[in-house]
Structure 1
Amino acid sequence: MKGNKGAMRKDLWPMRLNKYIAYAGICSRRKAEELVKRGQIKVNDVIVKIPFIEITQNDTVKFKDQIITPTKKFVYILLNKPKNYISTVSDEKNRNSILDLIKENSDERLYPVGRLDRNTTGLILLTNDGHLAQKLSHPRNSVSKIYKVWLDKKTTQEILIKFQKGAQLEDGYLKPDALNYSEINDPREVLIEIHSGKNRVVRRYFEHFGFTVEKLDRVYYAGLTKKNISRGRYRHLTPDEVRNLKHLGK
């Protein structure tokens, strides 16, 4: 991991260890706490298990016996994910990963925010900003997501009203922020807006009502849309977009 501690703003020092690891692009602050508690981080060649100790510019931090340093360049990429790509960094089955679609040289390690399952398409954010990744993933910040859903059966206004009321799933109650038809001429297509980030929650929601989701596409994420991003392509966020993401939940 390339970096220069001296290039970081002076007011960031001293820095808590979990924040240091996140700024090095290794993972989010929450995951960094786990790495430290498992004894996978060394400070000045000594294993530490306290995530909140303070690091100074003179300390050396290692992960997997490699020196890590906070990055001075954060990268924010918005990708329109195709089907049959997984949104994890590594995969023991050697399947296609969304990282394979990023066609540019970078020394930064990118991680997905707001993961999508293999068969779901649409917007996903990749970044090396562990602090922002944690913020967008935390339930209290209520990051809004809109999905276009293709169902296996036609719906009616009566069914649509049931969809809008919410349902008790095995891992908690879900009530859509908004739900309506996507196309007036096709009652199998609906748009659903939620802020939950639970695993396969949209598919499970419609299964609760006896419907199967045949196709699922995330068309909106935290104020970002797919405009001018064709399937399998991506773009870098603008400074204003990054600023808006960082102010979510404030």
Structure 2
Amino acid sequence: MPRLDQLLSSLGYGSRKEVADFVKKGRVLWRGEVVKRPDQKVEASDVRLDDEPLEAPDGLLVMLNKPLGHVCTHSDGEGTTVYELLPPRWMARKPAITSIGRLDKDTSGLLLITDLGPLVHRYTSPKAEVEKIYEVTVDRELDPALITTFASGSVLLRGEDKPCLPAQLEITGPLTARLTLMEGRYHQVRRMFASQGWHVEKLHRSRFGDYRLGDLAPGEWRVLELPDVK
């Protein structure tokens, strides 16, 4: 069992010194009893802070509907980050939360965020082949021949020597389409359309693996049940 001060610190509740202060003020219970020492060994599931259970002690997985204009980076100076939409305590977790893959500043939609390294690897490994669906708006009328082209597995992106995996394209309007991918290369959707002479004007991800946005509004998030990460 972990020490209480280590546990609360790793979950972003405060430094060890701050946890010691929580204990001194009687704010922490373990199995219904007031904790007397910050170094007491505890089980996370039996700890209460201010009479509330600890948040996601086994790790976080969050679905965010990323708005336009936000970036998926921890670096300063690159603009408003997606992490500013989330509770500040999550960034203090150890390890801190990070996005599973990225959506660029001009792309909206479903973004998964976690503090579990195995989940990041599971969903971003080149061998993962996680299905992702994008809603696309382009600058000129779409040619139905693109459906066959994208499905052929022969689309080559500029600067790369390995063609994209076959992708499913559904044309939903003169300027709109739905593209289903099984990989996640850098700016892949925009580059695929550019390789055939189209410019993507709007891009939105509506699905990532088994996860769908549903009625989640832009800027809103939802904590998800953790899958098996072993």
TM-score w.r.t. length of structure 1: 0.64
Residue of 103, 125, 130 corresponding to 1:138? 125
Pair 1:168-2:153 in alignment: no
Letter in 2 for 1:77: V
Q: Deviations over 1:89-145 (max 9, x none)?
A: 223x25100000114644422111021111111111111111111121101111111
Residue of 110, 113, 119 corresponding to 1:126? 113
Between 155-164 and 112-121, the greater mean CA deviation after superposition: 155-164
Displacement, 1:88?
Answer: 1.0
Tell me what 1:87 maps to.
72
Tell me what 2:169 maps to.
179
Tell me what 1:243 maps to.
227
SS of the equivalent of 1:173 reads coil
Residue of 206, 209, 217 corresponding to 1:222? 209
Q: Deviations over 1:60-82 (max 9, x none)?
A: xxxxxxxxxxx943011100101
Letter in 2 for 1:96: T
Say which structure is richer in strand.
1
Mapped contact 1:74–1:129 kept (Cα < 8 A): yes
Residue of 54, 63, 73 corresponding to 1:78? 63
Measured in 1, the distance between the counterparts of 2:165 and 2:60 equals 34
Tell me what 2:85 maps to.
101
SS of the equivalent of 1:121 reads strand
User: Structure 1 residues 187 and 163 mapped into 2: Cα distance closer, same or farther (>3 Å)?
Assistant: farther
Identity of counterpart residues, as a percentage?
A: 26
Displacement, 1:6?
Answer: 6.0
SS of the equivalent of 2:174 reads strand
SS of the equivalent of 1:192 reads strand
Letter in 1 for 2:134: Y
SS of the equivalent of 1:215 reads strand
Letter in 2 for 1:174: C
Letter in 1 for 2:183: S
SS of the equivalent of 1:160 reads helix
Residue of 136, 147, 153 corresponding to 1:149? 136
**Structure 1 spans left out of the alignment, 5+ residues:** 8-23, 26-70
Q: CA RMSD in A?
A: 2.3
Measured in 2, the distance between the counterparts of 1:208 and 1:122 equals 23
Measured in 2, the distance between the counterparts of 1:221 and 1:176 equals 17
SS of the equivalent of 1:122 reads strand
Residue of 188, 208, 218 corresponding to 1:201? 188
SS of the equivalent of 2:178 reads strand
Mapped contact 1:176–1:192 kept (Cα < 8 A): no
User: Structure 1 residues 6 and 131 mapped into 2: Cα distance closer, same or farther (>3 Å)?
Assistant: farther
Measured in 2, the distance between the counterparts of 1:130 and 1:173 equals 29
Q: Deviations over 1:198-229 (max 9, x none)?
A: 11011111000000000110110011001121
Question: What are the within-5 Å matches in structure 2 for residues 2-13 of structure 1?
Answer: 5=2
Structure 1 stretches (4+) deviating beyond 2 angstroms? 4-7, 103-107, 156-166
Structure with bigger gyration radius: 2
Q: How many residues align?
A: 175
